Every structure is written in structure tokens, then in C-alpha cells.
Amino acid sequence: MNTGSDKPGEVAVAPDETEAGGTAEERELGSRAPEFIKARRMLHVSWQVGVFVVGLAVVGAGIVMLPLPGPGWLVIFGGMAIWATEFVWAQLVLRWTKRKVTEATQRALDPKVRRRNIILTTIGLVIIAVLVGIYVWKFGLEMPWKIKDQ
């Protein structure tokens, strides 16, 4: 196993990026293309066009999957992640989305919110059960389109 050190008992530590002003999770904005591609203007533009086309195809497939069976939103976010490898605007949208999803997750895991959601779900299920019971009591198990004149 390579620990990044030749000395036994020593472990390599990644540099702390929090001192640079951002969190350790956030990378700097900009292209993640290899350096030899960034060095040549035409090659870099071609790379960006390719990334855009692939990301567009993935986002398009996700949009098609929204009304059809399939993981539409997951595929759309995958396309955004592809775009985020090259475009700053996509990186910013992805960061904003991650932040909002994390905040929503934290709110949903709050015990007060969970208790409220469980109570509201229980009340809704009781109301639905009462309405179904009233329907079955009044009409029996026949569907509305088979009810005869009364």
C-alpha cells in the first residue's frame, strides 16, 4: 500500500485548502482539462465543444426521462456534472444545488420536522380511510361507472 512516504509509520497528508479561502470540499473554478489541452487554444475550444455536446446529450436524455420511466433528475444532474468539468457557470449551479440539497436534508432530518411529517401523513391516511369507508358503505364495492339509478 502506498501511503505517499518512504518512511515507515509516516502518512502523507493532503494540503489543507481551507487556508486559501474555500472549504476543503470545494475546488477552484475553471477548466479541469489536462494542461496540454489548455496550452493550445484550438484544442481547448474543441475540448469545450466536446464536453458541451456530451453534457447536452446527457441533460437531454434526463429531460426525456422526466415524463418517461427512468432516473430523470439524476441523469440531468449527471449532465450538469459533466458540464461542470469545463464551465464555471455549471460549477456554480452545481455548488448551489449541492448546498440546497444538503440544507433540505438537514431540515428533513430535524426531529421536529420528522414528527410533524409523520403526524400529517397519519392524518392524511386516516382521512383517506374514512372517505373509502364512506364510499364502500354507501355504494358497496361497485365502481362509480357501474352504479345503477337509485
Which pTM value belongs to this model?
A: 0.52
Q: What is the pLDDT of residue 14?
A: 46
Confidence of residue 65 (pLDDT cuts 50, 70, 90): very high
Whether 150 shows a pLDDT value over 60: the answer reads no
Contact present, 62 and 76 (Cβ < 8 Å): yes
